[in-house]
């Protein structure tokens, strides 16, 4: 069973930074493509970035240049560094794992493509 546990959410002022982390088992970390999503109240879940087992990372255009996804191989964690945060970044942030094709991610970053989800961590950005 794939288990994902997010941490690092909180409240920050606009322009600030936060770093989210998603802990996974070694099997999950080395087998699945992993991604970050967010969902604001009343909105659909939005894919932000996915990282394949080789470390390649496509980003959603909405966060490209401000958010960075990385893997910590020593800790088996997937991290999301968020800089220059805006009030519109306020949302519940989720870590997800999905099947890769030969270790790589092809296609859009959409929720139905991911089979396992964490419980989410809240990020609130005030103006």
Task: Indicate the average pLDDT of the chain.
Answer: 92
pLDDT at 104 over 80: yes
9 and 82 Cβ atoms separated by less than 8 Å: no
pLDDT tens sequence across 50-84: 999 888 887 777 788 899 999 888 888 999 999 99
pLDDT tens sequence across 14-39: 999 999 999 998 888 889 999 999 99
pLDDT at 103 over 90: no
Among the residue ranges 12-16, 45-49, 72-76, 97-101, the one predicted with the least confidence is 72-76
């Amino acid at each position: 069973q794939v288990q994902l546990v997010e941490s690092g959410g909180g409240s920050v002022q606009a322009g600030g930074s936060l770093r989210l982390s998603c802990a996974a088992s070694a099997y999950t970390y080395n087998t699945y493509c992993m991604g970050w999503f967010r969902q604001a109240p009343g909105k659909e879940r939005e894919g932000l970035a996915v990282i394949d087992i080789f470390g390649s990372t496509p980003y959603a255009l909405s966060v490209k240049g401000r958010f960075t996804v990385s893997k910590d191989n020593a800790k088996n964690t997937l991290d999301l560094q968020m800089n220059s945060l805006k009030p519109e970044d306020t949302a519940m942030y989720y870590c997800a794992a999905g099947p890769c094709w030969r270790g790589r991610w092809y296609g859009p970053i959409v929720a139905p493509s991911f089979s396992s989800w964490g419980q989410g961590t809240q990020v609130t950005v005030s103006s």
